[in-house]
Structure 1
Amino acid sequence: MAVTLGEEIALLSLDDESGATKERSTAAWAVAGGILLELAMAGRVTVTGGRLAVADATPTGDALVDGRLRLLTEWTRHNRGRKATDWLAKDQSKATQATVESLCERGLVVEERHRAFGLFPVRRYPEADGSVERELRERLASVVLEGAQPDDRTSGLVALLHAARLHRLAFPELPRKQVEARMAEIAEGQWAGDGVREAIRNMQAALVAITVVTAATAAL
């Protein structure tokens, strides 16, 4: 089953048993970044000088990605010359919800609803089919821990996780220092064309910024 980069990040962030989201704030940005990177790698969007544009509005065939592409096409029509970070800031919450709904439709997670303290509605997404996440974790372990050569999609995923400092989502049992250097090496490798590399750099900058803000807020 082929899943998108955004869905892969979402799977890593959802606790298998409770369905709660780990690293919620940062993971949401990374999910949105994953969808945008998906569009860049498919030649649908470009990022030049940090500015985001739709190069080709033709659907990719993936419902989740195409839904964001339609919204992005409309947004750029009225917001020419805006930065990729502006789109990520606008879309990260809705993109994350759309991504989790896609995982439900694929049968990989199931939605559970209850009320916290009997008052506040809460949704959780525990695992329903763990096969895709297991393959994903095995692939990440192969390239990060065992030194295998990653393909472009895995490299993009590692770049996003590294930029957002989400090492622990991918390797919850290992200290960050054990995987950080190899993830940085993969993220900085010459595995993508110039346009995609610029898109990644912009998303990395956005993810680094939000990670710093999130950490500072948590420390208050």
Structure 2
Amino acid sequence: MSVTLGEEIMLLSLDDESGQAKDRWTAGWTVTGGLLLELVLAGRLGVDGGRLEVTNPSPTGVALLDGCLERLGAWARTTRSATVAAWLWKDQGKTVEATLASLRERGIVTEERHRVLGLFPVRRYPEADGAAERELRARLAAVVLEGAEPDERTGGLIALLHGARLHRLAFPDLPRGQVEARMAAIAEGQWAGDAFRDAIRATQAAVPAATAAAAVAAAAS
């Protein structure tokens, strides 16, 4: 399989040279939402009114997705609040770690470990092979800047980035005003089936809510 939606969002968030994540919290929630959308596209997951349902528990053959599917299935069986928002809160940390590990195993990024002040461990993920990110950015540019019609995966990615206000991750050298209207139009377009659009809307609503709640929690601590 090609790079997943979650991996694509992670690639956009990582600085190619330093390996540090930009918009770390929001990007993390959005990576988690990207894997949910990938499972919807794979026919393994459904979203109804913001609630998640595993519709087919069989493996996809992609380790990153199958790990997420297994965790999600076990969690959904034991909770009454199997919503997209609740899943983002529960699994964001594991999803981010698993996505970084997948990119590292593919040889797309490398891992560097440092200690700040000789005490605090820090991990960074500079780019090792830029082919996947170059293809991704070219695809985004073709749709957003040149007016090409998006396929479901590209449209879903753009909708997620727009909903999370991560425009600058996709187009760091352009003012947001230059791309925002086109990304909004794509997000509202008719390029996806109803099930996928329902999943996108639920994820678009959940990511900003999670980000705002995390900011409040951090300020109160």
Q: Unpaired runs of 5+ in structure 2? A: none
Q: Does 1:191 align with 2:191?
A: yes
Task: Give per-residue Cα distances to partners, 1:29-87, cap 9 Å, x unaligned.
Answer: 00000000001111111111211110000111111001100111111111145211101
Q: What does 1:1-220 align with in structure 2 at a 5 Å threshold? A: 2-213=2-213
User: Does the 8 Å contact 2:15/2:21 carry over to 1?
Assistant: yes
Task: Give per-residue Cα distances to partners, 1:159-215, cap 9 Å, x unaligned.
Answer: 110111100000000111110110111111112222211111110001222344567
Residue 16 of structure 2: SS of its match in structure 1?
A: coil
Cα distance in 2 for residues equivalent to 1:8 and 1:72 = 21
Tell me how large the CA RMSD over aligned residues is: 1.8
Residue 47 of structure 1: SS of its match in structure 2?
A: strand
* Equivalent position amino acid for 2:170 in 1: A
User: Does the 8 Å contact 1:44/1:57 carry over to 2?
Assistant: yes
For normalisation by structure 1, the TM-score amounts to 0.95
Identity in percent: 66
User: Does the 8 Å contact 2:162/2:180 carry over to 1?
Assistant: yes
Q: Unpaired runs of 5+ in structure 1? A: none
Cα distance in 1 for residues equivalent to 2:16 and 2:47 = 35
User: Does the 8 Å contact 2:85/2:210 carry over to 1?
Assistant: no
Residue 208 of structure 2: SS of its match in structure 1?
A: helix
Cα distance in 1 for residues equivalent to 2:137 and 2:144 = 10
Distance 1:148 1:217, change over 3 A: farther
For normalisation by structure 2, the TM-score amounts to 0.94
Residue 77 of structure 2: SS of its match in structure 1?
A: helix
Q: CA deviation at 1:121?
A: 0.5
* Equivalent position amino acid for 2:123 in 1: R
Residue 78 of structure 1: SS of its match in structure 2?
A: coil
